[in-house]
Amino acid sequence: MVSFNTSLKEGFILVGFSDWPQLELIFLAFISIFYCITLFSNTTIIIVSQLDPRLQTPMYFFLSQLSFLDLCYTTSTVPPLLVNLSGFSQTMSYAGCMAQLFIVLSLGGTECVLLVVMAFDRYAAVFRPLLYATTMHPLLCKALALTSWMGGLINSMIQTGIIISMPLCGIHRLNHFFCEMPVLLKLACEDAGGMEDNFFVPAVIILVCPVALILGTYAHIVQAVLKMKSSAGRRKAFQTCGSHFTVVFLFYGSAMYTYFRPVHSYSENEGKFVALFYTVITPMLNPLIYTLRNKDVKRALWKLLGRDTE
């Protein structure tokens, strides 16, 4: 048994996908492509939302925040993964591991709160369309965005603090491609069940409560949309809200699958592939989900390219 005060302070070995050496080059190629698409698509949404006057609305302000979050989130995990897959380095210092854990938890927590804010924005647009601009004042939007970032930061400080104070034992080898909490919990010297209890309340607050709020909000939105007399209005409302709900399903589904499984039943190999989904696939899909079904964004993109369709 390796004590926390010796080997683990020297760092961790990230196994990554070295158990499947025949797949490493394939993963390296595809993940590199997906990462480039993520960088390009999310950056494009941010730029378009800033440059096109028609997109200077609360909805696109929050969408820009989501795109920036996705950029930061995927960049915190994918470049080290690409280095790992290329064979240059499979090690990470203890400080680097804790820093990565803090960043990932902070950004993930921020997205949890931001998705609730985006649901509230859609609720205000559907229920109070005539007062929408007054209700969603720019100062309120900025305050809600700041609240999202602060919520994620506080959540990360609590959970990372628990991990840092937790004595770790065993071989300093993480069967993962980044420092994720369930994998670190498997190295706990203490009873894993007892350690999980410390994370239960923060996990409920940052995951379950937002999901409940979003589902409740969308239940009211659906009722209101179904009462609309205009079929075009119903279709537009369902397209906009449907895009957001798809993002919610992808994000919370994978997050709850990972963070609400007991440590003793957590499969590291399975967890790596689930983690690939929410660190690589979801940040790439989010802008595509919004832009492919959104005429305003597509129109702004054509205008930016000098091919205004109007």
Structural domain includes residue 40 = yes
Domain count, the chain: 1
Predicted local distance difference test score (pLDDT) of residue 39:
94
Does the pLDDT value for residue 147 go beyond 70?
A: yes
| Residue with the two structure tokens 């926390």 | 4
**Per-residue pLDDT tens over the stretch 212-253:** 999 898 888 888 777 777 777 677 777 767 777 788 888 888
> Looking at the domain assignment, is residue 127 inside a domain?
yes
pLDDT tens string 67-94: 999 999 999 999 999 998 887 778 888 8
d(CA 276, CA 74): 10
Q: pLDDT value at position 4?
A: 43
Q: Is residue 42 part of a domain?
A: yes
Q: How far apart (Å, rounded) are the C-alpha atoms in residues 207 and 201?
A: 10
CA distance 78 to 178: 9
pLDDT tens digit sequence for 28-38: 999 999 999 99
Backbone phi, psi, residue 7, to 5° = -65, -40
In a domain, residue 27? The reply is yes
* pLDDT for residue 114: 94
Q: For residue 298, is it within any domain?
A: yes
pLDDT given for residue 3 in this prediction: 43
Residue 117 has pLDDT above 90, yes or no: yes
User: Residue 283 sits in which domain range?
Assistant: 7-304
Residue 310 pLDDT > 80: no
pTM recorded for the entire structure: 0.86
pLDDT in tens, 3-18: 444 445 567 888 888 8
For residue 152, what pLDDT is reported? 94
Q: Average pLDDT, stretch 116-145?
A: 89
| Residue 2 resides in a domain | no
**How large a percentage of the chain has pLDDT more than 90?**
29
Mean pLDDT for the chain overall: 83
Q: What confidence score (pLDDT) does residue 261 get?
A: 75
| pLDDT tens track for 42-61 | 998 898 888 888 888 898 89
Residue 310 in domain: no
pLDDT of residue 9: 54
* Phi (first) and psi of residue 189, to 5 degrees: -70, -30
4 or 114: whose pLDDT is higher? 114
Closest of 57, 48, 63, 69 to residue 124, by C-alpha: 57
- The owner of tokens 């698509």 is 41
- The per-residue pLDDT for 307 is 63
- Mean local confidence (pLDDT), 164-180: 82
Residue 52: inside a domain, yes or no?
yes
Q: Which residues pair with 14 in a beta bridge?
A: 174
Which CATH number is 177's domain given?
A: 1.20.1070.10
Q: Please check the confidence at residue 192 and state whether its pLDDT lies above 60.
A: no
Q: State the greatest distance between any 2 C-alpha atoms of the chain, in Å, as a whole number.
A: 69
Q: What is the mean pLDDT of residues 175-183?
A: 87
Strand positions, DSSP E, the chain? 12-14, 91-92, 173-174
Which is more confident, 298 or 147? 147
* pLDDT tens digits along 246-304: 888 888 888 888 887 777 667 777 788 888 888 888 898 888 877 766 677 777 777 76
